[in-house]
Structure 1
Amino acid sequence: MNQTLVDLLERNLVHAETFEGRFDDVQDGQRPDAVTVCCSDSRVLQDGMWDNDRPGQLFTCANIGNRVVQRTAEGEVVSGDVLYPIAHTGTELAIVVGHTGCGAVTATYDQLTEGLSEPPGIEHSIGLLAPQLQDGVEALPDGIDRETAINRLVEYNVDRQVELLVESDDVPDSVTAVGVVYDFQDVYSGRRGEVHVVNVDGTRAVDALRRAYPELADRVNRLWEYDR
């Protein structure tokens, strides 16, 4: 047997011992405080970034490129993974979590600028991101280096996903949609693992966000304040 699996199962015993008494309040259902939409990336510690150790607090979704959209016969809609806690458990906070150096954003950038060949499943996911990033790629300044371009587009993608939530008829007005970027590459502040707020309900101007949400002022940061 793969030794990694053996090791993981041994570590699960530690988890089970630690959490044994923490599931009592969620035996009959869940009412998570927030739904988070993270990127499927092994470097993104989806509950760990919030220091969360309480079962039932966060409804965590993950996919390539932290997308909130899925394609159906009726067209593109908010993904059921994201919508479920909003529609059925009363969750009123949705957090889209992008991250620095995102591989999905990088792949989409490469597809839009140079063409890219991927297996069909990955191609499908990139195909859902590409329409959201096309305008962002075109708006990048001339001469920008690749790393900076990617991290600007990470923000741009987060903005577009928040916009999709805000504009969806399936998401009630009572839901607050927040966009953040998880930084583990010293891009924003030099504190690895810190989360930076870049968008709240479609507002993305740093000064406006800091005025509107003074309690978040020191956590609001952006790399790119573009016109659109």
Structure 2
Amino acid sequence: MSELLRDLLAANATHADEYRDRFDDVQESQAPDAVTICCSDSRVLQDQIWGNEEPGRLFTCGNIGNRVVQRTAAGTAVSGDVLYPIEHTGTELAIVVGHTGCGAVTATYDDLTDGLDEPAGIEHCIGLLKDTLAPGVAALPTDVGRASAINRLVEYNVDRQVEFLRESDDVPDDVAVVGVVYDFQDVYSERRGEVQVINVDGETDVPALREANPEIKDRISRLWTY
């Protein structure tokens, strides 16, 4: 057995001790307050970014590129893991969580501009982003460097995932959909790990968002208006 696995199991034992009584109210069912769709990047601490230590509070989905879509026999649809809490547990808030320096967005950008040769599984995931990001790549300013281009496309991708959720007939109109970017690269501020709100129910204009949400106006920011 590897030393790393032993260390992980020891940490889990501590977790089990700390959480012994925290599952009492959710052992038989769940009613999460929000579903979050995060990138599965190892730097995105999916529950900890919200300070969440409460089992049952967040329904957390993760995949490369924080995608809300999947391909089905009937065509492109809202991913089942995203839709499940909305359909079956009454969850009324969906949060799409992009992040600075996203590898999936970078790979999609590279594939669109130069082409990539990836294993089939990765190619499939990138393929779910290519059509979405292609117009964003075409619209990029010509005077931005590679890193800045990627972080603008991170916002563009979050916007498109929010848009897909809002336009889907499977997502009720009373479900609020918010897009955010998790920043650990000092792109928006020097507070590494801080979330910036960039989209609320399809609204992306920063002054309008700040006026409509004055209580969080210092957390609303964007790099790009396109």
Q: TM-score, normalised by structure 1?
A: 0.98
Residue 122 of structure 2 corresponds to residue 147 of structure 1: no
What amino acid is the match of 1:225?
Answer: T
CA shift at 1:33, angstroms? Answer: 0.3
**Structure 2 counterparts to residues 25-36 of structure 1, below 5 A:** 25-36=25-36
Note the 1:85-124 alignment, pairs <5 A.
Answer: 85-124=85-124
Instruction: Output the aligned Cα RMSD.
Output: 0.5
Structure 1 gap segments, 5+ residues each = none
Cα offset, 1:216, TM superposition? 1.7
Code of the aligned partner of 2:224 = W
d(CA) in 1 for partners of 2:67 and 2:209?
23
Alignment partner, residue 63 of structure 2: 63
Partners in 1 of 2:71 and 2:214 — Cα distance? 37
Moved over 2 A (4+): none
Q: Distance in 2 between matches of 1:208 and 1:143?
A: 27
Question: 1:212 Cα deviation (Å)?
Answer: 1.2
CA apart distance, 1:3: 1.3
Matched, 1:173 2:173: yes
Give the equivalent residue in structure 1 for 2:24.
24
Q: Tell me the residue number matched to 2:137.
A: 137
For residue 72 of structure 1, what is the aligned residue in structure 2? 72
Which residue identity is paired with 2:138? E
Return the letter of the residue paired with 1:213.
Answer: N
What secondary structure does 1:26 align onto?
coil
- TM-superposed CA distance for 1:163, in Å, is 0.2
Question: What TM-score, normalized by structure 2, do the two folds share?
Answer: 0.99
Q: Shift of the alpha carbon at 1:213?
A: 1.3
| Structure 1 match to 2:194 | 194
Q: How many residues align?
A: 226
Q: Please state how far the C-alpha of 1:143 moved relative to its aligned partner.
A: 2.8
Between the aligned partners of 2:187 and 2:41, the Cα distance in structure 1 is 18
- The Cα shift of 1:157 comes to 0.2
Q: Is 180-189 or 213-222 further displaced after alignment?
A: 213-222
Structure 2: 5+ residue stretches without partners: none
Q: After the TM superposition, which of the residue ranges 157-166 and 205-214 deviates more from structure 2?
A: 205-214
C-alpha distance in structure 2 between counterparts of 1:40 and 1:171, whole Å: 23
Q: After TM superposition, give the deviation of residue 215 of structure 1 in Å.
A: 1.4
Secondary structure, counterpart of 2:20 in structure 1: helix
State the distance in 2 between where 1:3 and 1:165 align: 43
- Cα displacement (A) at 1:106: 0.1
Identity of aligned residues (%): 72
- Report the residue type matching 1:101 in the other structure: G
Distance (Å, rounded) in 2 between the aligned partners of 1:175 and 1:134: 28
